[in-house]
Structure 1
Amino acid sequence: MLYAMLAYHVEAEVTSWTPEEDAALMSELLAVHERLNAKKVLGPAARLGSTAEARTLRGPGAGMVIDGPFAETKEQLLGLYVLNCANEQEAIAIARDLRRANPSAVYEIRPIRLYLPGEALPETAQEGDKG
């Protein structure tokens, strides 16, 4: 089963880190990534750009482009992972491992299904899916 692991953090805190502090955290996270790669469960991962550079398209018709994500939250979505886990418990265990490396982050675990017009991949197919 595929899971999205969404990493939330207080953006102002993350941007306040010195390059050395950021590198130390990334070193800890890369150790977790290496373990996940060895188990062949880690898919794409990304550190998102700043919310100040984000744009949101919303509204009817062609929509309107507005600055940034427009949500009143203290934490922002700053990164994501795609994981191929046997079950939810494995995904939660991975979130705990990531959290040990980055204890002030919040991780949202959400099942995902790839959408490929015309066919479902075996790891995302649900009983009764026809693609």
Structure 2
Amino acid sequence: MTPEEKQEQIFASWLSGRGIPFVSPEAEEAYKERVNRLKAAIQLQKMPDRVPVCPVTGFFPAYYGGMTVEEAMYDYDRAAAAWKKYVLDFAPDAYIVPPEKLRAKRFSISENRLDF
């Protein structure tokens, strides 16, 4: 399979929405619009309707959710709620929570020391 074919396969999988419990038909349509926007921008084959927004936010979602960095790194439920609030309020086209943002419990268990 060529790299282009692999990429098409990935986008087709994303567009299918398989396994995503959309809350409404409108949510599903908005999701597919975002996938198509990303696809158009990445493949440079056609002009996207606008520039996709895929922010690298650091701990901004935690601050936005009223948490400190330390709270976000130890209270996974509150951190998840803060990141969800950020995504719902700002509606980026794509967003990934970097796993290193939520490792404090593991560091504490292994007796690594982090200063906040």
- The normalised TM-score by structure 2 is 0.30
Structure having greater relative contact order (Cα 8 Å, sep ≥ 6): 1
- The normalised TM-score by structure 1 is 0.28
